[in-house]
Amino acid sequence: MALRRYTRSVDGTIPVQALLYDDEELVAVQDSVGIYDGSQKSPEHQSGTIHLSTHRLFYIDSQQEATQSFALDLAYVTQTDHYGGLFSSSPKATLYLTAPSSSDNLGLGTITTAVPAFESWECEVCAYRNPPGLSPSAARICSLCGVPRSAVPAPEPRATSLPSSPPVSGTTTPVSHDPTMSIACPACTFLNHPSLSVCEICSTPLPRVKHSSERSFSAKSAPASRPRSPDDETVPRMIKISFRKGGDKAFYSALKRSLKGKAWENNERGTPSERHATTRSGINGILRVVESSAQNRENDLQDSLQDLEALMNKAKEMVRLAADLNEKLTASASSGPSASPLNTSINSDSSALVPVTEPEEATFIRSSLAQLGLQMANTPVTLDMMKDDRKWFDELARELAGILQGSSRSGNGSTGTGLLGERGILPLDEVWGGWNRARGVALIPPSTFLQVIPLLSSYTDPPIRRRTFASGLSVLHTPPFTDAAFAARLSGLLALSGPKTTIEVAQEEKMAVGLATEMIDAVEQGGYICRDDAQAKISGSSGGGAELRWWANIFEGYSWDGQSDISQA
Partner 1 sequence: MSVAAHTTPSGYLLPSIHSAPPFFTKQINPTTRSIADDHWARIILGYARHRRLFTLRVEDAETSGNDWDEIFRNERINRRLLPDHLASLISSMVTNNLAVYEPPKQTRSVLLYWRRPEEWADVLHSWVASTGQMNTIMTFYEITDPPVESPLSSLPIVILRKAIDVLSKSGRAQIIAIADGEGVRFFPGGSKI
Q: Which residues bind partner 1 (CB under 8 A)?
A: 499, 524-527, 530-533, 535-540, 549, 551, 553-556, 558, 560-563, 565, 568
For residue 418, report the phi and psi dihedrals to the nearest 5 degrees. -80, -170
| CB 490, min distance to partner 1, A | 14
Q: Which is nearer to partner 1, 43 or 540 (CB)?
A: 540
| CB 509, min distance to partner 1, A | 21
| CB 521, min distance to partner 1, A | 8
Instruction: Report the C-alpha gap between 460 and 465 in whole angstroms.
Output: 9
Are 46 and 61 contacting, i.e. CB atoms less than 8 angstroms apart?
no
Are 52 and 255 contacting, i.e. CB atoms less than 8 angstroms apart?
yes
| CB 529, min distance to partner 1, A | 9
Instruction: Report the C-alpha gap between 510 and 161 in whole angstroms.
Output: 67
DSSP state of 117: G
Q: Are strands 92-97 and 183-184 parallel, antiparallel or unpaired?
A: unpaired
For residue 151, report the phi and psi dihedrals to the nearest 5 degrees. -125, 105
Q: Which is nearer to partner 1, 216 or 541 (CB)?
A: 541
3-state DSSP assignment of residue 72: strand
Q: Which is nearer to partner 1, 31 or 521 (CB)?
A: 521
Instruction: Report the C-alpha gap between 56 and 371 in whole angstroms.
Output: 45
Q: Which is nearer to partner 1, 466 or 549 (CB)?
A: 549
| CB 554, min distance to partner 1, A | 5
Cis before 462? omega within 30: yes
| CB 558, min distance to partner 1, A | 6
| CB 491, min distance to partner 1, A | 13
| CB 535, min distance to partner 1, A | 7
For residue 514, report the phi and psi dihedrals to the nearest 5 degrees. -60, -45
DSSP state of 149: P
| CB 471, min distance to partner 1, A | 14
Q: Which is nearer to partner 1, 44 or 521 (CB)?
A: 521
Q: Which is nearer to partner 1, 38 or 499 (CB)?
A: 499
Q: Which is nearer to partner 1, 357 or 568 (CB)?
A: 568
Q: Which is nearer to partner 1, 126 or 530 (CB)?
A: 530
3-state DSSP assignment of residue 367: helix
For residue 275, report the phi and psi dihedrals to the nearest 5 degrees. -70, -40
Q: Which is nearer to partner 1, 101 or 563 (CB)?
A: 563
3-state DSSP assignment of residue 8: strand
Are 75 and 57 contacting, i.e. CB atoms less than 8 angstroms apart?
no
Q: Which is nearer to partner 1, 162 or 538 (CB)?
A: 538
| CB 508, min distance to partner 1, A | 20
Q: Which is nearer to partner 1, 160 or 563 (CB)?
A: 563
Output the CA–CA distances (angstroms, integers) from residue 239 to 92, 137, 262, 448, 474, in the order listed: 10, 24, 19, 71, 78
Residue 474 neighbours by CB under 8 Å, 6+ apart? 427, 428, 466, 467, 468
DSSP letters along 211-251, please? Answer: HHHHHSTTSSSPPP-SPPPGGGTTS--EEEEEETTS-HHHH
| CB 409, min distance to partner 1, A | 42
b/e code 118-127 from CB counts within 10 Å (16+ = b): eeebebbbbe
Residue 376 neighbours by CB under 8 Å, 6+ apart? 322, 323, 326, 327, 330, 345, 348, 350, 369
Instruction: Report the C-alpha gap between 166 and 156 in whole angstroms.
Output: 16
Q: Which is nearer to partner 1, 384 or 561 (CB)?
A: 561
Q: Which is nearer to partner 1, 335 or 568 (CB)?
A: 568
Instruction: Report the C-alpha gap between 182 and 294 in whole angstroms.
Output: 33
| CB 538, min distance to partner 1, A | 5
| CB 502, min distance to partner 1, A | 14
Q: Which is nearer to partner 1, 485 or 534 (CB)?
A: 534
| CB 514, min distance to partner 1, A | 18
Instruction: Report the C-alpha gap between 265 and 106 in whole angstroms.
Output: 12
To 5 degrees, how large is the angle CA 109–CA 112–CA 117?
Answer: 80
Instruction: Report the C-alpha gap between 211 and 177 in whole angstroms.
Output: 12
